[in-house]
């Protein structure tokens, strides 16, 4: 296993549509394991293959970082099969370091995918966990949250804004 370099915004590979995985070869498995290591090393909750320069439909995700940090999923050829409701999600991305923004996401999703052994599984997620899956899945279609975010700004500005809004709320 190895840590791979994370590609940053501006690189063409992040704007391309990824191809489905036809066969889960040892090389694909190695990629998945490297992606998990790379996600942990970068302190992220998700990482998609194009972020390490590979145009395949694969991402890894840790949708419950506080409650269940051991739940790390490898999703190969993922497909969102159901979406419901809406939520505003505050997001950042390992490929857009130092920035944050607000994105409209569904409140609840179902996603099906193959695991690292090629077994199909399905998850139902809501709240933060749903946003993680949607964010990573977007990467596979060449979409960065930054392309569709409101209030896209540096993390510093973002937290200042949140704090001043909280203070304004407290005065009311
Ligand atoms: Ni991202």
Instruction: List pLDDT tens digits, range 120-170.
Output: 999 999 999 999 999 999 999 999 999 999 999 999 998 898 888 888 877
What fold does the segment set 12-171 form as a domain?
Answer: Peptide Deformylase (3.90.45)
Return the residue matching tokens 């704007």: 15
Q: Collect all residues with Cβ–Cβ distance below 8 Å to 72 and sequence separation of at least 6.
A: 36, 39, 60, 61, 62
SS3 of residue 6 by DSSP? coil
Joined tokens for residue 170: 């407290």
Q: Rounded to the nearest whole angstrom, what is the distance from the C-alpha of residue 143 to the centroid of ligand 1?
A: 9
Average pLDDT for 21-34: 98
Ligand 1 ion local residues (Cβ < 5 A):
93
Q: Rounded to the nearest whole angstrom, what is the distance from the C-alpha of residue 118 to the centroid of ligand 1?
A: 24
Residues annotated as catalytic are 136
Cβ pair 75, 113 in contact under 8 A: yes
* Rounded distance between C-alpha atoms, residue 35 and residue 171, angstroms: 45
Q: Rounded to the nearest whole angstrom, what is the distance from the C-alpha of residue 169 to the centroid of ligand 1?
A: 31
* Rounded distance between C-alpha atoms, residue 149 and residue 154, angstroms: 13
Residue 172, pLDDT score: 58
């Amino acid at each position: 296993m190895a840590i791979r370099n994370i590609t940053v915004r501006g690189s063409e590979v992040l704007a391309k549509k990824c191809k489905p995985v036809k066969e889960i070869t040892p090389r694909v498995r190695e990629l998945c394991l490297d992606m998990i290591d790379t996600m942990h090393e970068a302190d992220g909750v998700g990482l998609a293959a194009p972020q390490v320069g590979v145009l395949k439909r694969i991402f890894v995700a840790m949708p419950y970082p506080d409650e269940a940090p051991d739940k790390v999923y490898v999703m190969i050829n993922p497909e969102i099969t159901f979406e419901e409701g809406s939520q505003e999600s505050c997001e950042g991305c390992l490929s857009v370091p130092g920035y944050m923004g607000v994105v409209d996401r569904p409140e609840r999703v179902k996603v099906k995918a193959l695991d690292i052994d090629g077994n199909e599984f399905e998850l139902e997620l809501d709240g933060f966990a749903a946003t993680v899956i949607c964010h990573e899945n977007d990467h596979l279609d060449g979409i960065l949250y930054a392309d569709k975010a409101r209030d896209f700004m540096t993390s510093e500005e973002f937290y200042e804004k949140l704090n001043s809004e909280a203070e304004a709320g407290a005065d009311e």
